[in-house]
Structure formats: structure tokens, C-alpha cells
Structure 1
């Protein structure tokens, strides 16, 4: 067997592999001898079938296996000796297409190898971590929002006109083409104006009504309305207004705290403070992580596999095209050519992906079973009532498990770098942190 290098340029490699006819024949002979003791054939006892007959019966199939095993073996031996790690599945092509038994097998193999990633001194990376404390104003705002969500409604004066945010208590009868329809009527129905509970236009039509009024509200059901017999139809709702009520936020006290599962107001305040600071910490980490990735992108350079960059650029361009064309659900659309901007972003992603993978491997970073289980549980909560089916899907889908594992691994590698980098805490305002997060989202 011969392996001859034909290309060595950057990360690109190509080889001609030749497996001689004698080597193939020897491999087939070995396979036949291994199988002979178990073979039964009419006219012969088990294990006594002549080799010539076995070769005639099974030789052609075994020749195919021998060719594949020989080529794979040569490739694996080469990769082991060279230390190359192909960036993607090597491309293999048989060059003597008119091959017949007795000929040597000639195969060309090409691939891009993964680059050697240089060592990085993380202690020289300087980062600033934004620290935000939950101030009294933020906690008070959160308490007021909770009180607002627990609001009650109190009667307005009989002559008061309803405005957005008020609650209107009414009887109504809906008709399409002059005929009442199922589900279109109710009595003593409380509706908060501006809540978006009813079809578009209905709540707006009740602005300005007062107790005792009777008003016809004309609306059109959306074309995608869930009841197909009503979709796109015009309807008239005759509304008899019984009362108009204004919202009154709940008082911020122990009773409010108990509504939200806290022992008292002090306990609720402590919970809110803890939750706010956890949110600030998460936002701050995202900002610091981006700063770290930016620093690594500038600090570390190495050759990138062109095939990986092109594939990533294609995915970016395709995703952005669909975001700009949400009506196109499938892939029946013109070919999408990545722009220079897509390729630039793809190069950054590929570089950082390879770099973090290399750092994680060298640091023996692992995602534990417990961490994976927690990630799966978090995902399952998005499918209430279908958790069992989701777990079965995850068990059967290795690619999806890898998609769940990848961000966990990346975050653990980032934490590993944070431990060694020069990270300085800086106390800032909530607005400063919010501005930094918004800047991330714009990029």
C-alpha cells in the first residue's frame, strides 16, 4: 500500500492512496479463511467447503469490503501518524474508474485539517465587569408592578366615560349577517379596555361608553381567526354597558406579599432584591463575555479551514434571508450568496469556536450528566403536557443533545478563562448596564 502526498498548502491536504491487487487478494483470502469454519453448503459438511468455491460464491462481496477496509485503514494510519484532524469528512474518489479484479485500487483523498491553536496567556487579558446593586428605587418599582398586576377595579361615577385601562362590565350579543353566532354572546362580562383580550377594534369601540349605554361595535374577524367559519367575516356586537370601573393597584403590604407566596412584605422585598441582582449579574456576564470574545478575537490568530468558514457564512446568509422574508417557510427560494459581511462574521465564529474548543479540551472541561439533565428539564418546561415525548425525542436525537451541550460547554470554558484573566469589578448604574446590553443587541 502506498500513500503519496499531492497537496500541502496551508490547511489543505491531498493524497493518492494505492492498494495493490496482491494486498486486496490477501485480505479477501483472510476473510474467507475466517468464515470457512461456519459456512454450510449443499454437498459439503460444515467447515469443509473448498476455498475455491467459497471465493466464487463470496469473493466479489468480500472484495468490496476489503477495498473499503484497506482504504479506511490507510487513511486512519495516516491521520494517526500525521496528527491531522480533518475539519470535515475527507473527500474520497476512486481514480481508476474502470477497475476490474486483479487491478490495483487507486484513490484520491483530500481534506482540510484543523489548525494548530496557539497557547494564550489569559492573565494578560484585562476585563471590566459591571456590578449593579438593586437600589431602593428599582425594588420599589418592582413592588409597584406587582401591585399593579394584583389590581382591583372600583366603580366609577355613573356618568364617567370609560377610558383605556378601565374595566367595562356588560352584556353583549354578536351577529354575523344579522344572525347570532355560537360563542358570540355573554352576560355580566368584565373586559379591561386595552388588554387585547378581544379581536382588534372591539375594545377601541368601547372607549367613551358609560353605565347604561347601549352601543353597536362593528369589527372584522382576522383572516387567520381560529374559528374558520368566522375568519374574515364582519360582525356587529350589541353591547349593553352595566358598569364602568377604574383600576386600583393593590396596596403594598403583607397581604400583597402573601398573594405572591412570601411570608410578609420584608420577605417579598428580599426576594425581589435577590431576583433583580441575579438579573443584573446575568446581564453583566453577557457584556463581559462579549468583551472577552472580542479580546480573544484580536489577540489570537491562526489559519481557518476555508470549508468551515464558507459553510458558516452560508448558514448566516440563509438565516438572515429567512428573517427578512418570514413568509417563506421552506427552502424553495433563489440561491443565497453570502456577502463579505457574512463571511467576516463567519470567520469570527469559526475562529472563536475552534479556540474555545481547544482551550476546553486542554483544560479538560466537561459538561456533567447533572448539567445536561438540568438543561433538558429547562427545555422540557417549554412543552407543558408533552414532557415525556420531549424526553424521548432527546434520547433518540444525538444532534439535538449536542445542540444543548454546546452552549453549556462554551460557558464553562468562558468561566475557566475568567478565573485566569485580570477581571476588575466596576460598580455602575442600572442605566449604564442597560445601555451596554442594548449595544450588544445592536451589533
Structure 2
């Protein structure tokens, strides 16, 4: 085998490979002899089938396998001898001349072809002393803990059935059947039986619960409401509807003391232990919200910090994935790019810049993690897989087996875990300033930052990538 480098520009590499006819013929001969020892062909004794006959039967298919194996060997040799890190699969350019290819198949001529490669860029990690991050820390007041515990208490409040001529009042739990219609036609999901509602909880469409007040058990009533403009189902948003409601039962709220006994009923030693657990839970929630903001800022800083050539193949793959998703979302919304005040050319340019950012950050984070020795244990992957499987009750075992038997799918679990660990590593090496805020201020600032990021995306400046945060 002869390998000659013919191109080395940026991340592009090309090599001319010549596979000698004698070598290919020898490989074919070796395989034919192996077949001869095992072949069972009518008219011949075992092990006595002439090689020439086997060549007529299997020669071309064996040569195809031999060529593929030889090409794979050449690719491995190129990568190993040149210490290359590939960005994608090698591209093989075989001879266009069919006569030339046919001669190679018949072992009458060498097989000469070109292999094109794209390599990963070298990323100089460096230090993170120049990365400055502000981390918002939410202070959880006692009143918020009280409110959270009260919410739990309300969900566990006992109710006593009302009998006779009693009417439904605010705070009562009612059981109803209803049939909803829009424009005189029933709609999907608009009918239900034996549904419990605590009047005044605001769990139903605005105005629905208010019109149940005053009803008696067994009474039927038509409730008229209008779906909110921002309703989750677009086909119902902003539309008036009427519900035929039947009240089947009413129960009055009982008293519920928030004390040690209440806490024990939830599995805690006493009320103080419940409060400690609630504080820890609220602090975790706030920390996750804060993370969304500082993580985006950290990724922005890394995007500014690193500049290197990007593999065209990786960028194109990322762009294609983003574009398909954008097209699907646009189609689902029933809108066009013109409706959005843009053109396909503008959107493609925007999404390509986002794709480039994602690839750049993905490569940078991978190199940072490699240099730092970041690892994701099998136990961590198993735990994350189990948590994801819990979203499919009754199918957990099948879900877990599917992922464990599919390396590509399992990488979808491991990848985000690795990324988060790398992000935490970078944060630990950066200059971090904590600023204490109230929870409302935290939410406001995070929402404002995310809105600003969306606006930047519309201008083509990119957003934090899915593959890198």
C-alpha cells in the first residue's frame, strides 16, 4: 500500500492511496482457500472444489469485501501514522473510469483512489482567570417557607361531605361532571366525569369555579367562560365556550393545624425538620434558576475566548438539525417566514451562525474536559437513565434496556452529564462574584436575560447551544 499526502489546508487533508493488484489478489486467494476447505458444492467432494470454480462463483463478491477491508486498513494507517483526530468519516473518491475500476476488480491493475479527511482543530485550553461571572443567590425568607408549607397543607386538607340542600361555597371541594362545547360543537378534552375541584383554587378556566358557587347536589347548570388568549391549546385560545355542568357532591373544608403532628404525617420528625427540608428544596430550585443565567454568561465568555477553524462537516450537521427543527416548529404553528417578518436567506444565515457557535463551544468544552480529566461514571449514567425512565410509567424496564443496548442513545445521556461537569469545572477556575437577591428579583433578572438572548438570536448573534448548555 502506498499513501501520499496531496493536500493539507486548514482542517482539510487529502491522501492518494494505491492498493497494489498483487496484494488484493493475494487477499482474494487467501479467502478462496478458506472457502475451499469448508465449501459444500454439489458435484464436488468436501474440500476438493477447484479454486477456479470458486472464483467464478464468489470472486467478485470476495474482491468487493477485500477492497473494503483494504480501504479501511488504509484509513486506519493514515490516521495512526499522522496522529489525526477526525471530525467525521473519511470520504473515498474511487476512479470514475469504469474500465479502470473493472481492471482492479479483476486484479489486473492497482486500485488508486483519493481519501478526503477533515480533522478536529487544536484547542489551546489555557486558564480561566479572565472569565468573570456574577452568580445570583436567592435569599429565602421565612415567609416563603411558611407559604410553601401552607400550600402543602391545603393539598392535604380534610373535607367533610355536605348533605341535603347544602350549596357549594368558596373553599368547598366539589365533584362534577361536565361537557364542554365551542361554537355548539364538543371539543377534545372538554368532557369529564367525577372531577374534583376546590372552589377558589383557580385550577380551572377563569370564571368556571365562580359559576359553580351556589349550586346544590344534583343540580345542572350551564357555565359560560372564555379561554385565555395564551391558552396551551391554540385552537381554543381566546374562544368562548359553554359547559354543561352537573354537581354530584360537595364537601366542606376541615381545619388543618400546621404543627409537629402534621409534619409527622408527611414523614418528618417534627415541624422544624419539615421547615429545614422545605428551605433546602426552595434553595435548590432557586439555584437551578440562577444556573440558567450564569451558565449562559459563562458560555458567552467561552465563545469570546476561543477562536479556531471549525470543521465544515460538523457545522453542516448542526445547521441541518437546527433548520429541520425550525421548519417543523414553523409548520406546527401554521405560520410562514413572511408572517415572522423574515426570509429564508436571513434565517439560514442566522441559524448557521448559531450552528457555528454550538460547534465551537462543543469542541472547546470537550477539550477542556479532556485536559481536566473530567469523567462521567457508569453509576451517574445509570442514575440519569433511571430518572429519565421514570417519565414512562409502566415501561421503565423496556426504556432502560433500549438505551443500554444502543450506544448512540446512551451517549445522549452521558453527553449532557459530561457537559455540566465541565461547566462546573470552568466555574471553579473562574472569578465568581455572588450577589444576594430576593427570589422575585432572581426570576425577573433571569427572565430578562433570557429575553435578551432571544432578541440576540433574532439578530443572528446566537444563543446558548443545546449541545453546549
TM-score range, shorter chain: 0.7 to 0.9
Q: Tell me by how many angstroms 1:152 deviates.
A: 5.0
2:268 partner SS:
coil
Q: Tell me by how many angstroms 1:374 deviates.
A: 0.6
The two structures have a TM-score, normalised by structure 2, of 0.74
Cα distance change on mapping 1:426 and 1:417 into 2, 3 Å: same
Cα distance change on mapping 1:340 and 1:414 into 2, 3 Å: same
Partner of 2:73: 73
2:117 partner SS:
strand
Q: Tell me by how many angstroms 1:97 deviates.
A: 4.2
- Cα displacement string for residues 95-132 of structure 1 (whole angstroms, at most 9, x for unaligned residues): 23412222332323223221111232123323333333
Which shifted more, 23-32 or 261-270?
Answer: 23-32
Cα distance change on mapping 1:184 and 1:379 into 2, 3 Å: closer
State yes or no: 1:299 paired with 2:305. yes
CA distance in 2, matches of 1:61, 1:171: 72
State yes or no: 1:398 paired with 2:404. no
State yes or no: 1:438 paired with 2:459. no
- The 5 Å alignment of 1:15-26 reads 15-26=15-26
Unaligned residue ranges in structure 2 (runs of 5+) = 185-190, 228-240, 335-343, 454-469
- Cα displacement string for residues 298-356 of structure 1 (whole angstroms, at most 9, x for unaligned residues): 1111111122212212222322333344368xxxxxxx775222112111111111111
| Aligned 8 A contact 1:134 1:277 in 2 | yes
Q: Tell me by how many angstroms 1:78 deviates.
A: 1.1
The two structures have a TM-score, normalised by structure 1, of 0.78
Cα distance change on mapping 1:259 and 1:320 into 2, 3 Å: farther
| Aligned 8 A contact 2:75 2:90 in 1 | no
Unaligned residue ranges in structure 1 (runs of 5+) = 178-182, 223-232, 329-335
2:129 partner SS:
helix
Cα distance change on mapping 1:191 and 1:351 into 2, 3 Å: closer
CA distance in 1, matches of 2:180, 2:76: 75
| Aligned 8 A contact 1:96 1:106 in 2 | no
- Cα displacement string for residues 195-244 of structure 1 (whole angstroms, at most 9, x for unaligned residues): 6888998656424x255895532689x9xxxxxxxxxx99855658x868
1:392 partner SS:
helix
- The 5 Å alignment of 1:276-295 reads 276-295=282-301
**Number of matched residues?**
415
- 1:358 alignment partner, one of 353, 364, 367: 367
2:332 partner SS:
coil
Cα distance change on mapping 1:43 and 1:76 into 2, 3 Å: same
CA distance in 2, matches of 1:141, 1:200: 23
- Cα displacement string for residues 275-318 of structure 1 (whole angstroms, at most 9, x for unaligned residues): 12222333333333222211111111111112221221222232
- 1:206 alignment partner, one of 209, 212, 229: 212
Partner of 2:348: 339
Partner of 1:332: none
